[in-house]
């Protein structure tokens, strides 16, 4: 699992002895849009360019097949900021400052992640109960069941601080599952691990 920067900060505050103000309480599901291919980036300005990218400020994305861009990480949650025409920037936090990468990006695929919506019963995030930590790791002590609308594709599980809105504290890619009809997704095993 990739922890968001805000998730890492909460863990560090807990280690410091400060109670986390936004603990993981809920899980949600994401599908991925088709990748924007051939995106380029300039390190001097931290600006990415892709004609007709269609991204909006606040969108959640991950990077794949990154060429250049020292400091950027693949499959790590970034948020889109600074959208202007055919350009955009990435931030580690929603609405935060642009992430500073130190070499130009000659090519990267940018994949927008979209939380599921719709269905009957309607998709909604579900609560998750976590066990006490043992040797730097925690498991889920329950198995949340999430309703998935017909046509949904699940690629990622998100870990949040609230049932709606809230803070994304972690993101884990999962084996893709496609729902031809209304169905359920059961989260059978979650390992929150600080050892890796």
Per residue in 105-144, pLDDT (tens digit) is 999 999 999 999 999 999 999 999 888 777 777 888 899 9
CATH of segment(s) 33-112: 2.40.30.180
More confident residue, 161 or 6: 161
Q: What is the pTM of this model?
A: 0.90
pLDDT(16) > 80:
no
What integer pLDDT is reported at residue 66 of this predicted model? 98
More confident residue, 9 or 64: 64
Domain definitions of the chain by residue range: 2-31+116-193, 33-112
Residue 133 CB partners (closer than 8 Å, separation 6+):
none
CA 19 – CA 145 distance, rounded (Å): 28
Give CA angle at 159 (141, 65), nearest 5°.
125
């Amino acid at each position: 699992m990739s922890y968001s920067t805000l998730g890492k900060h909460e863990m560090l505050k807990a280690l410091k002895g400060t109670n986390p103000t936004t603990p993981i309480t809920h899980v949600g599901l994401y599908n991925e849009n088709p990748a924007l291919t051939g995106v380029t980036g300039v390190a001097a300005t931290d600006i990415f360019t892709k004609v007709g990218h269609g991204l909006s400020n606040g969108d959640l994305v991950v990077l794949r097949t990154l060429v250049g861009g020292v400091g950027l990480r693949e499959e790590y949650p970034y948020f889109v900021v600074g959208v202007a025409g055919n350009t955009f920037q990435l931030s580690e936090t929603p609405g935060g400052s642009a992430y500073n990468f130190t070499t130009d990006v000659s090519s990267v695929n940018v994949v927008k992640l979209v939380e599921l919506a719709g269905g009957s019963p309607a998709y909604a995030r579900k609560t998750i109960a976590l066990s006490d930590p043992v040797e730097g790791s925690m498991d889920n002590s329950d198995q949340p069941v999430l309703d998935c609308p017909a046509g949904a594709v699940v690629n990622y599980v998100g870990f949040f601080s609230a049932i709606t809105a809230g803070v994304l504290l972690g993101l884990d890619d999962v084996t893709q599952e496609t729902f031809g009809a209304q169905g359920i997704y059961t989260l059978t095993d979650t390992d929150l691990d600080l050892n890796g």
